[in-house]
Each structure stands twice: as C-alpha cells, then as structure tokens.
Amino acid sequence: MTSPSAPAVQLHAVRLDRGGRTILSGLELRVPRGSITAVLGPSGSGKSTLLAALTGELPPAAGRVEVFGAPVPTGHRALLAMRKGLGVLLQGNGLLTDLSVAENVALPLRAHTDLPEPVLQALVRMKLHAVGLLAAANAWPRELSGGMARRVALARALALDPPLMLYDEPLTGLDPIASGVIMSLIQRLNRTLGLTSIIVSHHVHETLPICDQAVVVADGRIIFIGTPAQLQASDDPLVRQFLDGQPDGPIPFDAPVRACGQEVA
C-alpha cells in the first residue's frame, strides 16, 4: 500500500528527451499532497514536457517519476488505470463542439463508469455547480466565452474525482477578470475537495498568490524550488530575468540545441 505521507508527485534524477534531443535533465522535485505547485518558466522551457512525464505520455529517458508513491506505469492497461486518478485541464479546453456543456462533462463518466443515468446526471450537475455554470448545462461550446469554456473543461476534468489536477497554461487567452475567476476557482476546489494541483504557467503575478510552492524551469533544468515569497526575493540572475521580463540576460531568446542525453552546461 502507498504511504499516506508519500508526496503526490516525486521526480528523482529525471531526464526527458523529445525528438532526439534532451529537453530537461537532472530533475529533482517533491510535490506535497494537498498543495498547489506552480511550474513557471519562459515559453518553450519544457514545462508542458514535464506534465507529459506525469501523465505517462513521455516516459523518462533516465530517472524515476512517481505519482502517489508508485512509478508511472508503461503498460497500456496500468497507464489507463493510473490516468483515472489524474485530472488534466488542457490549454485549448478540448470541448467537443457537437456536445452540450452537460454532455461534455458527462463524457468521462460515460467512458469509465457504469453509473445509472440518474446518478450520472446528478454528478454532472454537481460538477457544473462547483464551477458556477449549472445554468449553462444545455448550452453549446460555441455559445460560451473563453472563461466559461475553461470552467466547463475544469468541470469535465473533475468528473471522476481525481486526487491530482494538472493545469497546462490555464490562463491562455483569458482577460484579467476571467483569469482571476479561474485562479480563485482552482484554489477553492483544491481546498474543498482535498486535491493536489500542479499549474504550468508563465503568468507569474496571477499564479503565485494561490500557490504553496513555486518551481522555475529554464536552461533545460529546474533552477528554483521554494515558496512564492522566496521566489520573489531571489537574486538568481536566471530567476530575476524571468520575473522581471528582461529581454537580455542568461536565458537566451533562441533555445540552445542539445543532443539526446547531453547535460546542460
């Protein structure tokens, strides 16, 4: 049995390769249960690649990735079973345009459970109520604003009550008000449902206020792990360039090309 004290996510000496080149290497990370962790960094720094390792889409080229104390499996059936415990909010929402809001939320329940229809519909209403969109149950995705569509996608990600939520750039394309709504909702759901959340983002000022732990990815590695306050106080040149939005500094505009397995200098 998995120890209840085990972290929700743990990476040890992990290297991640794509297309014959190393994207990230030397990754060491612990994500405590019940916490919200922000994974920050410039565009193209490998943040979404890190999420791919957690979902099992990208097996590590080296090292170990664990979710709730167990290695991420590679077998098809075991991987599907593990993924039922993950909720993933994609950048593009991924809503099916020919299904209503309610049917989009019901999709994971229909695919992975044999619940009676009245129970399934009750769960759909609960998830939509949790994100403040019960009144939009019969709407079509094309009728929704960007913020509303993101909340429907969140309700669908929560449909199977996953203990771990992964958010890939949840604020992309949203205005400041919608961004504030989404971040407040992520924080409230994490607390009330006892979730563990990992948020991949480059929106520093919107993300840090709700987080317990901040992780910064740059230069092919993790360059910072600590609290949001410690991040803001950091004088590391790489961290400061990212936080302050400086065009010139140690993080190059053009990403360096690294051969597969090559460590970052």
d(CA 25, CA 14): 6
pLDDT at position 260, please?
57
Distance from the Cα of residue 48 to its chain's centroid: 8
Mean pLDDT of the chain: 89
DSSP H or E segment with residue 185: helix 176-193
The tens digit of pLDDT for each residue in 138-152 reads 999 999 998 899 999
Domains in the chain: ranges and CATH: 34-56+73-234 (3.40.50.300)
Q: Tally the residues of the chain.
A: 265
Residue whose pair of structure tokens reads 């901040």 in the numeric block:
214
d(CA 24, CA 28): 11
Instruction: State the distance between the two ends of the chain, measured CA to CA, in whole angstroms.
Output: 40
Residue 1 pLDDT greater than 50, yes or no: no
Q: What is the mean pLDDT of residues 155-179?
A: 91
Residue closest to 6 by CA, chosen among 184, 158, 164, 137:
164
Residue 257 pLDDT greater than 70, yes or no: no
When mean pLDDT is compared across 52-61, 85-94, 107-116, 230-239, the lowest value belongs to 85-94
Q: Which tokens in the block code for residue 200?
A: 């991949």
pLDDT at position 256, please?
53
Sign for the CA dihedral angle at 183, 171, 178, 239 comes to positive
The tens digit of pLDDT for each residue in 185-224 reads 999 999 999 999 999 998 888 999 999 999 999 889 999 9
Q: What is the mean pLDDT of residues 69-81?
A: 89
Confidence bin at 172 (pLDDT 50/70/90): confident
C-alpha to C-alpha distances, 40 to 53, 163, 189, 201, 226, nearest whole angstrom? 16, 22, 21, 5, 12
